[in-house]
A and B are shown apart, each in its own frame.
Chain A
Amino acid sequence: MLPTILKNLFTGYATRLYPVQVREPFDKARGHISFSEDKCVMCGICAQRCPSVAITVEKKLNKLTFYPFRCIVCEVCVHACPSDAIELIFKWRPSSYDKPEEVYKSTRLEHLRVSTEEAKNKEKEKSE
């Protein structure tokens, strides 16, 4: 036991003075996920697969809600997404005092809707 005690007396601190001294995360450490609004089509597969119910998708309202503090960064949604709209970022999310929700809307879906409406209008004009 004596060597252990002596070693502890002369070695430095085992802890870091966070947040002054921040340890760099490892290369492939799972930080958090991010959504790209220009790729998402609101299909809702991520919301179905998510084991911790951290994503809800309302396609009619074009609204995807993400609850970052429920997310366990299991990567299931990243692999399930058919349009590669979810990306895993290897950096930790900064700490915060409250539990904010993140709301996304799909610009791609809006474009699609606008283009389909335009096409419908054109068809109507043609038929008239």
Chain B
Amino acid sequence: MEKLWPVELSPRTKYLRTFWAELARVHSHLLWLGLLADAFGFESMFLQFWRIRERVLDLLEMTAGHRVIPSVNIVGGVRRDITPEQKKVIIETLDIIRKESDSLVKVITNDYTVKARTVGVGVLTKEQAFALGCVGPVLRASGVSEDVRLTKYGAYGDLNYEPIVETAGDCYARTLVRARELFQSIDLQLEVLNKMPEGEIAVKVKGNPPANEAVMRMEAPRGELIYYAKGNGTRNLERMKIRTPTFANLPSLLVMLPGCQLADVPVIVLAIDPCICCMER
């Protein structure tokens, strides 16, 4: 929305938004790893992952007020700030999350049963993934190094960020990508917290959205998310379009599903991390 005016955001706003985005990524990947375990019947692992996820939700609640959707963004900035006391608690909790997920991720990446259910299942080659327009971890698991965070929006320009890429293109590779991104995301959060500059958290934006259009791409936990907004000078926007990552990843099922075993269907469908309710927009 800020691109419509355009408004220059304060550096602290960018860092805070990046922090919440990465926190949401940790929560989303932990959720997905739990659901993957559930998809092939590893019920106890599912609960183990969700137990760690509870810590992330507590962090979100402490900093933003809500457990899943932070609702902190306003046009021109954010509503909440992170105090030094909160920062201390966040760093301690992130450390615990890292230790706890480390022991669980070892299980999910080395266990014989997990490998039997995911290795070689739902293979998507590099060319296929690119041609079908896949995004996010699905694309990176097939060996394409593509991530919107490389465009350096938000505070990503100041952070050490390298996309995580696997080449096998099966469900196991997608699990590895997400598991490694989990730890990378925790590192990014610590970096954000350490580098966060002082300053205003919101800039005042005056007037209605001008007659202008803007496109914003960002890397959501599931992949590339595109926002398009068009204003016409009045209070209401003329057009608003959101392209969610699930919509881009769904065609890949046409390649992955034919010929697979029936028992593998839940694992393959889950591997693209579908969110049907946010797909239809």
How far apart are B227's CB and chain A's nearest CB, in angstroms? 16
Partner of B62, one of A3, A14, A28, A72: A28
Closest partner residue, chain B, to A31 (CB atom):
B65
Q: Which residues of B contact A75 (CB under 8 A)?
A: 65, 71, 79
Q: Which residues of A contact B61 (CB under 8 A)?
A: 25-26, 29
Mark interface residues in B55-76 (1 if CB within 8 Å of A CB, else 0): 0001001100110000100100
Q: Dominant SS at the B interface?
A: helix
B184 beta carbon closer than 8 Å to chain A: no
Partner of B107, one of A1, A28, A72: A1
Q: Which of B67-89 contact A (CB under 8 A)?
A: 71, 74, 79-80
Closest partner residue, chain A, to B62 (CB atom):
A26
On whether A30 and B103 interact (CB within 8 A), knowing A4-B48, A75-B71, the answer reads no
Closest partner residue, chain A, to B58 (CB atom):
A26
Q: Which residues of A contact B107 (CB under 8 A)?
A: 1, 4
Q: Which residues of B contact A29 (CB under 8 A)?
A: 61-62, 65
A74 beta carbon closer than 8 Å to chain B: yes
Mark interface residues in B101-116 (1 if CB within 8 Å of A CB, else 0): 0011001000100000
Closest partner residue, chain A, to B50 (CB atom):
A14
How far apart are A34's CB and chain B's nearest CB, in angstroms? 16
Cβ–Cβ contact B66 & A73, under 8 A: yes
Rounded to whole angstroms, the CA-CA distance of A109 and B71 in the bound complex is 32
Total residues of chain B contacting the partner, CB 8 A = 17
Mark interface residues in A22-49 (1 if CB within 8 Å of B CB, else 0): 0001111110000000000000000000
Closest partner residue, chain B, to A5 (CB atom):
B44
Q: Range of interface residues on chain A?
A: 10 to 19
Cβ–Cβ contact B66 & A30, under 8 A: yes
On whether A30 and B65 interact (CB within 8 A), knowing A3-B103, A4-B107, A75-B71, the answer reads yes
Cβ–Cβ contact A4 & B71, under 8 A: no
B51 beta carbon closer than 8 Å to chain A: yes
Rounded to whole angstroms, the CA-CA distance of A57 and B236 in the bound complex is 21
How far apart are B76's CB and chain A's nearest CB, in angstroms? 12
Rounded to whole angstroms, the CA-CA distance of A25 and B111 in the bound complex is 38
Rounded to whole angstroms, the CA-CA distance of A72 and B62 in the bound complex is 17
Closest partner residue, chain B, to A51 (CB atom):
B71
Closest partner residue, chain B, to A74 (CB atom):
B71
Closest partner residue, chain B, to A14 (CB atom):
B51
Interface core residue of A8, A28, A79 (most chain B CB under 10 Å): A28
Q: Which of A65-107 contact B (CB under 8 A)?
A: 72-75, 79
Rounded to whole angstroms, the CA-CA distance of A29 and B74 in the bound complex is 18
Rounded to whole angstroms, the CA-CA distance of A95 and B227 in the bound complex is 37
On whether A1 and B51 interact (CB within 8 A), knowing A28-B62, A28-B80, A75-B71, the answer reads no
A interface residues, Cβ below 8 angstroms from B: 1, 3-4, 8, 14, 25-30, 72-75, 79
